[in-house]
Structure 1
């Protein structure tokens, strides 16, 4: 027997359901974040595993080989970044001296132009040391917590990935048993589309990171910036956090250049390099590599980014775009939620395309032939 509820009661239940969902996402963050990353890695490695299985490699061995490949790539990246950071610490003395000179120049400028007396250098240095100690303490605490979380993720995520890839047929049968027969075809199409969207996003993002890192490093090399390769790679990795990552990635080398050279124009040129590369990435590289499979409008992407950061921090910001792209596929596949999929879609994908004169001519000919066939 179907129970009809008033509209206001339906909306109240929907709001309560959304609130309960948010509470569950935050309460089980330690479980859901590694599981979400594992699902993305499993979708990325699925085509490679299928190719190895076609050449008679056992499934468990194929999964282990693919996981080892990912671990080696990530290990080499972490090793490169850590060695660059260790060598970067050797510049701290020079940076400190240059910062002192910059402070003196700014104080002289303020005195000559505005009559503001310079602050006592001893007090300024003392305040700076106190601030650095506070920042170092906070950074150390965050580093310890992130290290423990990273160690836990490195042990749990490969196990999750192995299980998801090994039991993928079992999980598919479970979904078949869960869905009625008349909806199974739609479910299969939705699953294939989700897999294709996730794979195209992750693989395309990796290609974009490589291309952007090369462009960033080349621009910094031309400007003569120290550790150009490190800053170029670091800024390109931060592009996995949309809109905000490139800002952080450009400010760090700009501040480093300002501290090492003492010239503001050099820092401005560094920011100019990243702005130019960001223009190329947003207008040419990403649309060409990733394509239109992850077609989310910028407003929805920014809201998803903020929600992901509020829920799961940096991990949520990384998972925001692929997550909302998968949600759009689900919305488009389920008729009552199609308006939500339309709301998330990019405006260029939903607006009707204008037909040229040639296409209109062919259309009129086709309609005329069809009309003639009906008359016959």
Structure 2
């Protein structure tokens, strides 16, 4: 005899399950964060490792692909650390210029509109005088945090190697829970998910590189110092739809305004980033990544906030790829397709919505 449970009981169980899942993620984040990063890197390196396996054993191919990504990431970290070090060395000069710019603005407001400078200017100047100390403390805390995280970072390459080397064994482990008659369907679904996720992650990396190059070229043409640093920093932030471009353009725009004192140059910098963002959203990302796993801005912002609340900075980094993976999984499972539709970006109106609008127009007429 089949027992039918009331709807409120099902929803209560679902909410309880979500609460336990969040509790589990926060409690074991020291284990889950490196595993999540390792899983993304493994998916990214899987095509490279598979090609190398045609010419050499799997262990050697996995090791070579892992060394390749470590070298690339090491060069990126070295470059950004050098740029940040040079930038922090100029904080005293930047704070002095910013203080002078504020004084000019106050003088302009007093001469044109009769607005007298308030005592808050003294507070601003004192705060600006401590920028260098704050920057030094930030760098120091970052170094100490990095030193404390070395143990976790060293685990990620080990996890990536094991995931790539034992991927067939892991797949067979999953098949132990599935009936033989359903394994062929499961294999096809898993392969589709794997291909889509690989294309998304690799495409996202390509988009970031292209946007970084375009941003840097635009800043180079304007003669902005640290053009590569500002361009790459803004490119990484483009994973946040709409808001990323504002955050990415704010730092170089403020830097140009402080150094040149020209509002026109600042607006040109913002226009450059806005134009690159327009190219990225309408041409680069649709052609490189495709619209199948595109995430709408609302879902991306909520994912960033939730990722930051659960796992901090690491959660914000992982939130966009993980939400894209969830969308792919929801697309492959029919009962969860409405959630995939909710997460996805809508480029075209559904046919039902167009018909509904036509009916409303006819009623008004």
TM-score when normalising by structure 1: 0.85
**Paired residues of 2:92 and 2:129 also in contact (CA < 8 A):** no
Residue equivalent to 1:4:
4
Residue 83 in 1 paired to residue 82 in 2?
yes
Find the structure with the greater CA-based Rg: 1
Shift of 1:140: 4.8
Residue equivalent to 2:31:
31
Give me the whole-angstrom Cα distance separating, in 1, the residues matched to 2:124 and 2:326: 52
Q: Which shows bigger deviation, 254-263 or 115-124?
A: 115-124
Q: Which shows bigger deviation, 335-344 or 284-293?
A: 335-344
Are residues 238 and 48 of structure 1, via their aligned partners in 2, closer, same or farther at CA, if it must alter by over 3 Å? Answer: same
Residue 163 in 1 paired to residue 150 in 2?
no
Give me the whole-angstrom Cα distance separating, in 2, the residues matched to 1:186 and 1:326: 19
- 5+ residue gaps, structure 2: 353-365
**Paired residues of 2:330 and 2:339 also in contact (CA < 8 A):** yes
- 5+ residue gaps, structure 1: 354-376
Shift of 1:279: 0.7
TM-score when normalising by structure 2: 0.87
Displacement over 4 Å in runs of 4+: 119-124, 130-137
Give me the whole-angstrom Cα distance separating, in 2, the residues matched to 1:352 and 1:12: 35
Give me the whole-angstrom Cα distance separating, in 1, the residues matched to 2:252 and 2:259: 10
Give me the whole-angstrom Cα distance separating, in 2, the residues matched to 1:124 and 1:324: 40
Residue equivalent to 1:295:
294
Report the count of equivalent residues.
351
Are residues 226 and 346 of structure 1, via their aligned partners in 2, closer, same or farther at CA, if it must alter by over 3 Å? Answer: closer
Are residues 228 and 296 of structure 1, via their aligned partners in 2, closer, same or farther at CA, if it must alter by over 3 Å? Answer: closer
Give me the whole-angstrom Cα distance separating, in 2, the residues matched to 1:86 and 1:132: 12
Are residues 341 and 245 of structure 1, via their aligned partners in 2, closer, same or farther at CA, if it must alter by over 3 Å? Answer: closer
Q: Which shows bigger deviation, 280-289 or 264-273?
A: 264-273
Are residues 68 and 14 of structure 1, via their aligned partners in 2, closer, same or farther at CA, if it must alter by over 3 Å? Answer: same
Residue equivalent to 2:360:
none
Residue equivalent to 1:232:
231
Give me the whole-angstrom Cα distance separating, in 1, the residues matched to 2:261 and 2:255: 10
3-state SS of paired residue (2:290): coil
Shift of 1:111: 1.9
3-state SS of paired residue (1:178): coil
Are residues 166 and 133 of structure 1, via their aligned partners in 2, closer, same or farther at CA, if it must alter by over 3 Å? Answer: same
Cα shift readout 1:162-220 (whole Å, capped 9, x = no counterpart) = 11111111100011101123332232122112211221111111211221111111111
Cα shift readout 1:83-140 (whole Å, capped 9, x = no counterpart) = 2223334433432332232122022123223433335776653343357656754x35
